[in-house]
Chains A and B, each alone.
Chain A
Amino acid sequence: MTALVAVDHVTRRYGDVVALDDVSLTVGPGELVGLLGPNGAGKSTLLSLVSGLRRPDAGTVRLAGRDPRDPAARVRLGTTPQETGLPGTLRVGEVVDLVAGHYPDPMSRGEVLERFGLTDLARRQTGGLSGGQRRRLAVALSLVGRPQVVLLDEPTTGLDVEARHVLWQALRDYQADGATVLVTSHYLEEIEALARRVVVIGSGRVLADDDLDAVLAMAAARRVLVEVAEADRPALAALPGVLDVRADGRRSVLLAADADAVVRSLVRSDLPFRDLEVRGASLEEAFLALTATTPGEPR
């Protein structure tokens, strides 16, 4: 089976900042891949390489076997514009036609608008649309050319729950025909809705690449806050199940996949402690925990 997207040992810098550090990723036909990671992790840079907007400093990027900077490769690609950037004077139907005119076998204007509930807005200038309507149009544009590979960068950021679910359904309908989708988000919920395989990116590296359930388990990490004597702090890190330890004032913060197990072993270890507290960890913290350990190892 040939890979539709092949990123091979790619490094990309902006001046002194390394946005992607030796990243490799292969996506086959029909895969639904979520790119998860905090802001600035390198997700958007990765998408801009796959869509041919930028070229890597080292390594190669292939789209359907070709360099994505070659327009012929991009016949198979669909991406979304930022909703704020739609040409304000063009009508909704005209923007669809403009995009459709680039592809050999595009969807009809009617079909695109129907899929995204935009039929009534066809004659409206995009400048007069609400934020949610613009977002829908932006996502609709990614499918106009019936692409085999769809790149979605934060497709529903800023939408209300209702609108978000409508968009997800439209995307899932398209996926059902066998398209490959790469979606970035820093919302776990969005990744859950659209992806089957999840790639976690942090500080420009692939930290985890696994199926959805495995990554969900990682993201369910909890924080255990506890105060121990200065000298006992290293012992905390050695407790089984602890992913990461950080100091927070007098207390130490332990990150753990299974907080109950950590508390149990803390008690059993007979370390003198006080002020114990267990809290949920944010997705961001789960990523930090992943960053702190060897890539691919935690689970």
Chain B
Amino acid sequence: MFDTGRVTASPSPRPIPGSTSDIISGPVPGSRSAVLRRLSEMIRPVTLATDRTLPVADPLAALLPDGGLARGSLVQVAGVGATSLGLALLAAGRAAGSWAAVIGLPELALVSADEHGVDLDRLVLIDVPRWRRGAEVVAATIDGIDLVLLDRRLRFTASEMRRITARGREQGSVLILVEPGLPDASPSESSGDWSPDLVLTLHSPRWSGLGSGHGVLRRRHVAIDAVGRGRASRPRHVELLLPDQRGSLAADPLEPSPDAVIPLSSREHRVAG
């Protein structure tokens, strides 16, 4: 299902003899569905992966299969710091002039959104009445807005979830499911029914800057694991600062990148400095 993000140049595994009517009526091996699949591959337009993604901040690119958010995908964010990561992903649309919407999440602090680089001129916040038509609101929002942050605590039925996901895929909008990392947040029972294309899980948060009665919260070092389907099925892992001292996402200057080994002594020196 999650194959819209790749480079597809009309791949035809075997040369197909004759016209399309031959394929349907002729003695072609395989079932009807196989024929249909091959037909649909033939007529699929050529799409470059970069046309189908929204660029993200550099440190995050390593987490995503195409280095950006695949349009039409459903991304789930979980763990302590999920709200911050969700905002960092919303900021991805800024360069492209995309609109972003937040559905639900009444606690969201707009100052934090601003610090993460979300374009406030193109941000709307939508309160969903708890009692009705939530799915309709999400569907209508997806129709016109590229990046939608959806509060995972909102309840939808399984069929509504399927409909929302399909609508997002059709419209090329990125749907980001966020469960805010509040203490005692019980995993919602209905959450099993979403079938995200990519799950980003934050763990091992480590704040620095705060002492016993002095200092101020400066930055948080977190680890993020990404697991998904299709091209994203290879697990990926990054460690970065979320937020850094400006309140946005940044690479950890003290973290050695995988291909650059820093001697232990110099690392310690850097920590001290």
* A and B form one complex: no
